[in-house]
Amino acid sequence: MLEIKNLHARVEDKDILKGINLSVKAGEVHAIMGPNGSGKSTLSSVIAGKEEYEVTEGEVFLNNENLEDLSPEDRAHKGIFMSFQYPVEIPGVSVTNFIKTAINETRKANGKEELSAKDMLHKIRETAALLEIDRKFLSRSLNEGFSGGEKKRNEIFQMAMLEPKLAILDETDSGLDIDALKIVANGVNKLKSKDNAVIIITHYQRLLDYIVPDFVHVLHNGKIVKSGGKELAHELEDKGYDWLK
């Protein structure tokens, strides 16, 4: 599904990614771990197509299509979703209105008709129930005054609504208490299928107790320095990152 080949990227003249190779197949869950400043968040931003990040070398393919010239919204339309570490506030725009717009824009881009109000409402209710989200929450302004946990749950709610092919969860566990973490993880697990893939970007192994990865990669200084199975995460938890540097 996702092929990253020798990816180099920089932001403001600073080289951050220095040759990433990664292959993610449908049905797989990959965890990318690493210390602060190793390039984890840069990697997710580059995949999502954030403009400030300049790809200097290498390529990213989604289902064999080179993403190079695609805008962030084009990439979203092709099924890339990124859960933000710091979701932004949009005052006056309700969660419902926002997700409705996102879904219909994506559907239109893919030549589909807009979802009818009835179907939309049904889908919203179903998803809210799945993620144990109070309906009152849906009429609040997007992320405005949300707690850390609410923001992350809202991200997962949007993910569930948009049904992406590739979901990148960027530090989704940060700022979550254990109950919120379980709900978020539970949501991700329910949405996982053989047709989609998940990349979990995290500093800690905590979330991986609940979303079990098929592969774990360690990012250090802009490169993947070690890859392994789920047991690698536990090893990192015990030994820290220093032994890999």
Partner 1 sequence: MSKYTEDDLKKELETKEYEYGFYTDIESEKFPIGLNEDIVRAISKKKNEPEWMTDWRLDAFKIWKQMEEPEWANVTYHKPDFQNISYYSAPKKKPELESLDQVDPELLKTFEKLGISIDEQKRLSNVAVDIVMDSVSVATTFKKTLNEKGIIFCPISEAIQEHPELVKKYMGSIVPKTDNFYAALNSAVFSDGSFCYIPKGVKCPMELSTYFRINEGGTGQFERTLVIADKGSYVSYLEGCTAPQRDENQLHAAVVELIALDDAEIKYSTVQNWFPGDKEGKGGVYNFVTKRGLCETNAKISWTQVETGSAVTWKYPSCVLKGNNSVGEFYSIAVTNNYQQADTGTKMIHLGKNTKSTIISKGISAGKSQNSYRGLVQINKRAENARNFSQCDSLLMGNLCGAHTFPYIEVKNKSAQIEHEATTSKIGEDQLFYCNQRGIDTDKAIALIVNGFSKEVLNKLPMEFAVEAQKLLEISLEGSVG
What is the radius of gyration, based on Cα positions, of the chain? Answer: 18
Identified binder of partner 1 from the candidate list 14, 36, 92, 117, rule CB under 8 A: 92
Q: Does 105 bind partner 1 (CB under 8 A)?
A: yes
Phi first, then psi, for residue 137 (nearest 5°) are -55, -35
DSSP-derived letter for residue 205 is S
Give the one residue of 158, 172, 196, 202 binding partner 1; rule: CB under 8 A: 158
227 binds partner 1 per the rule CB under 8 A: no
One-character DSSP codes across 12-59: TTEEEEEEEEEEE-TT-EEEEE--TTSSHHHHHHHHHT-TTEEEEEEE
Binding partner 1 by CB under 8 A: which of 23, 25, 63, 108?
108
Q: How many residues line the site for partner 1 (CB under 8 A)?
A: 34
Rounded to 5 degrees, what angle do the CA atoms 169, 173, 175 make?
130
Tell which one of 102, 115, 120, 225 touches partner 1 (CB under 8 A): 102
Task: Return the number of the residue (103 or 185) whose C-beta is nearest partner 1.
Answer: 103
**Exposed, middle or buried by CB within 10 Å (0-12, 13-18, 19+), for 134?**
exposed
- With binding defined as CB under 8 A, does residue 87 bind partner 1? yes
Q: How far is the CB of 178 from partner 1 (least distance, A)?
A: 27
Among 106, 172, 196, 205, binds partner 1 (CB under 8 A): 106
114, 107 contact by CB (below 8 A): yes
Is 85 a binder of partner 1 (CB under 8 A)? Answer: no
CB 113 → partner 1: shortest distance, Å?
10
Contact region with partner 1 (CB under 8 A), list: 22-30, 72-80, 191-199, 200-208: 72-80
> Which CB atom, from 172 or from 205, has the smaller least distance to partner 1?
172
95 is a contact residue toward partner 1 (CB under 8 A): no
DSSP secondary structure letters along 138-173: HTSEETTT--HHHHHHHHHHHHHHH--SEEEEESTT
For CA atoms 208, 240, 45, 67, give the dihedral sign: negative
Least distance from partner 1 to the Cβ atom of residue 22, Å = 20
User: Of 7-66, which residues contact partner 1 (CB under 8 A)?
Assistant: 48-51
**Sign of CA pseudo-dihedral 149, 168, 119, 70:** positive
Closest CA to 140 of 153, 129, 123: 153
The residues of the shown chain that bind partner 1, judged by CB under 8 A, are 48-51, 71-73, 76-77, 81-82, 84, 87-88, 90-93, 97-99, 101-106, 108-109, 114, 141-142, 158, 162
